[in-house]
Amino acid sequence: MASGKLVGKQEVVLVTRAECVEIVSQTLNLDKVHVIDYTIEATSDGAIGFLGEYFRLVITIEENLTEKKLYYFLKSLPMDREQRQVIERIGFFHKEVQLYSILLPKLKWNTGASKWRPNCYLSRYDLLIMEELGHLGYAHIPDRMEFTDKYVHETLKCLARMHASSLEFETNHCENTRIDSIFGSVLFESQINKKNNWFKAGLDAIQVYAERKSTFKDNPVVRDGKLMGIMEKVYELSEATRDFQNVLCHRDLWSKNIMFQFPALENEQLDYENPMHCLFVDFQICRYQPPAVDALLAIYFNTRRRQREENLEKYLEFYYDFLHQELNKYDIDVTNKVPWDEFQRCREHYMLLFLVLNSIFIPLTHLAPGQLNKLHKENPEEYHRICETDRSDFVLENMNLDAYYKEYVIESMEELLEHICTNYE
């Protein structure tokens, strides 16, 4: 008899047999299903996200007198008590559960080539169960592989699908009101939040880098203690606005929240040079903001500065043209909803937000593969200090140990500081 207990942690029961029956029923669109067995396993890479723990649910069923296995991705609240308390206090997990329960299902065209997110089959206060994308041919871009134009284009196409679905829903189903007027309770700011110590520790790390290492350390903005006050303008920039058209924004599209489909090679390896399609996961940061915010953040989180300097205009035009194409499916004119000149003004208005978030993300997202997971397992106290209290010395020490990491961190920090020292006093 299957118990739904987690392999290796026999005291933890995550899923019941009745829930497995419901999950399979939804998957196969059948009223009656026969569940033989089910197990919950750690993911193959043992990954632990800061905002949740990840597992694989395997359900064995009988179909036409034959046993068949169905695979699902399970995301739960962390079992680490301190981490769980942080997430419950800020509301990250509750937010994502509510999004999957009440808002995302209302957005159209999440099928076939138009699909932009995995299907969710169970949303509970403490867990989510959805399609296991690995068994559908999706994978992450390999660690530290260049995010080429092909990756950027697939990401922006998926983003345009998501944004077009949001605009269609607001235009045709919200009775002349805004999405955030109806779903404001689940679209609150969970990341750029003065209660979020993770975010504040990121701002502190930028300031320490600026004062100790930056080429701008003698600039009056840094020298005279003005830097933090300028960076804190992002709190206001994170809010929904009435100056621009808003859409449902993912706002957390770094490489591990994007899964790509790849052609298979003869040796059963994947052709990572040629991504064909992608889906987005992890919606706990979602906000109602202008589409340019999402497009620019996705580009900044995944590309190098030189790549942006050479290609940013082309990337934005590509996104905008594809948004136009997607909105045509709904008989919506992009020039009425998101005029190109408004899109460009929005880009300039939010530039500080892109650069600050990029400089907070990069020192954590570009660590050596598995480094944070290893630290969490071997030294939980240090892990929590880095995530929640002070990561400044940790960042500087890693810059001395890892040339790739150092190059990326310097690039993101210097771009931010150049922008601030040039445009603010």
**Per-residue pLDDT tens for 141-197?**
999 999 999 999 999 999 999 999 999 999 999 988 999 999 999 999 999 999 899
Q: What pLDDT was estimated at residue 253?
A: 98
pLDDT at 348 over 50: yes
**Per-residue pLDDT tens for 386-416?**
999 999 999 999 999 999 999 999 999 999 9
**Sorting pLDDT into bands at 50, 70 and 90, what band is 8?**
very low
pLDDT at 69 over 80: yes
Read off the pLDDT of each residue in 343-361 and give the average, rounded to a whole number.
97
What tokens does 133 get? Answer: 């994308």
**Sorting pLDDT into bands at 50, 70 and 90, what band is 44?**
low
Q: What pLDDT was estimated at residue 268?
A: 81
**Sorting pLDDT into bands at 50, 70 and 90, what band is 240?**
confident
**Per-residue pLDDT tens for 297-336?**
999 999 999 999 999 999 999 999 999 999 999 999 999 9
d(CA 121, CA 103): 14
pLDDT at 418 over 80: yes
**Sorting pLDDT into bands at 50, 70 and 90, what band is 6?**
low
pLDDT at 291 over 90: yes
pLDDT at 84 over 60: yes
pLDDT at 11 over 60: no
Q: What pLDDT was estimated at residue 10?
A: 45
**Sorting pLDDT into bands at 50, 70 and 90, what band is 383?**
very high
Q: Name the helix (H) or strand (E) containing 5.
A: strand 5-6
Read off the pLDDT of each residue in 204-224 and give the average, rounded to a whole number.
98
Report the topology of domain 93-117+139-423: Aminoglycoside 3'-phosphotransferase; Chain: A, domain 2 (3.90.1200)
**Sorting pLDDT into bands at 50, 70 and 90, what band is 89?**
confident
What's the 3-state SS for 232-282?
CCHHHHCCCCCCCCCEEECCCCCHHHEEEECCECCCCCECCCCCCEEEECC
In the block, residue with structure tokens 């002349």: 176
* Bridging pattern class, strands 5-6 and 9-13: antiparallel
What tokens does 370 get? Answer: 């598995």
Beta-bridge partner residues of 73:
56, 130
**Sorting pLDDT into bands at 50, 70 and 90, what band is 4?**
low
Which of the pair, 377 or 116, is modelled with greater confidence? 116
Residue ranges of domains in the chain: 1-78+118-136, 93-117+139-423
Q: What pLDDT was estimated at residue 1?
A: 42
Q: What pLDDT was estimated at residue 261?
A: 96
Which of the pair, 176 or 58, is modelled with greater confidence? 58
Q: What pLDDT was estimated at residue 170?
A: 97
Task: Classify burial at 344, counting beta carbons within 10 Å of its beta carbon; exposed 0-12, middle 13-18, buried 19 or more.
Answer: middle
C-alpha closest to that of 296 among 355, 339, 247: 355
Mean pLDDT (the chain) is: 93
d(CA 291, CA 354): 13
